[in-house]
Structure 1
């Protein structure tokens, strides 16, 4: 009886252990690439771009009467 439950658990364990690193690799590489791009741009340039974007997209202030 225990063999009926053990074999599917062993199969699921091997699938998870075997496939998880391969499935997580593209995500890890994408975050590494994002970090490289952000590290290549100087901090003041990123801050200036953020301020410009914020001023352009902040919207209009509601009228107070």
Structure 2
């Protein structure tokens, strides 16, 4: 009895995905952990001030009323 090659290739793709997922996700998790450490090191009021400055510099332009 002949097995379908599509089934075997799907099984191989599944095993590669499951086996490589942790190795592929590790750098993303490390970057997220590093960002969390950096954000945790900055005091809350400083973060609020930085956010306010960034918002004021990049706020959308208001349209002036024309009569």
Task: Name the TM-score class by shorter chain.
Answer: 0.7 to 0.9
Partners of 1:55 and 1:27 in 2: CA distance: 31
The alignment's C-alpha RMSD in Å is 1.9
Moved over 6 A (4+): none
Rounded Cα–Cα distance in structure 2 between residues aligned with 1:51 and 1:4: 59
Q: TM-score, normalised by structure 1?
A: 0.77
Unaligned runs of 5+ in 1: none
3-state DSSP of counterpart to 2:61: coil
**TM-score normalized by structure 2?**
0.75
